[in-house]
Amino acid sequence: MRIAIGSDHAGFAMKQAIVGLLSELGHSCEDFGCFNSNSVDYPDIAQPVAEAVSKKSFDRGILVCSTGIGMSIVANKVPGIRAAVCHDTFSARRAREHNDANVLCLGEWVIGQGLMREIVTTYLSADFVGGRHTRRVEKIHAMER
């Protein structure tokens, strides 16, 4: 799977760990920044990641900031993006299975490295189940038109 990944300065360390995890899991990724712990504005990272996923250049995206909330707000402004803030494996699985979330947002200040590994692995291994959930996701698409 091809993953677009990005973080602001508050999520930089976790993003670096996720890049390693993605490699371990056999996924490829492109890092959209930031590339050090110097302060950056999260919209400058979230928007290009979300646009790349929306254009289908990548299968999914992962964004990290202090809480995941700011990244999620920005990513969800891009048509075709369903970004979910997940700080547990249940939410990560449901975000994929029921909401067809294509961007995972994480908070480095909220979760630790061990839980991050579980959440990312769960998110990437889950699939959209369709069925009645397809109708609901289509209603989201209709709002974007």
Q: Which long-range contacts (CB under 8 A, 24 or more apart) does 115-118 make?
A: 115/87, 115/88, 116/14, 116/17, 116/18, 116/21, 117/17, 117/21, 118/89
Residue of 29, 65, 86, 105 marked active site: 65
Q: How far apart are CA 83 and CA 68, in angstroms?
A: 10
Answer yes or no: 105 catalytic: no
Residue pLDDT, tens place only, 97-145: 999 999 999 999 999 999 999 999 999 999 999 999 999 999 999 998 8
Q: DSSP string spanning 32-94?
A: -S--SSS---THHHHHHHHHHHHTTSSSEEEEEESSSHHHHHHHTTSTT--EEE-SSHHHHHH
In the chain, what are the domains? 2-144 (3.40.1400.10)
Residue 122 burial (CB count, 10 A) = 20
Residue of 98, 105, 133, 141 marked active site: 98
Mean pLDDT for 41-47 is 98
pTM higher than 0.85 for the full model?
yes
Answer yes or no: 27 catalytic: no
Q: What is the pLDDT of residue 93?
A: 98
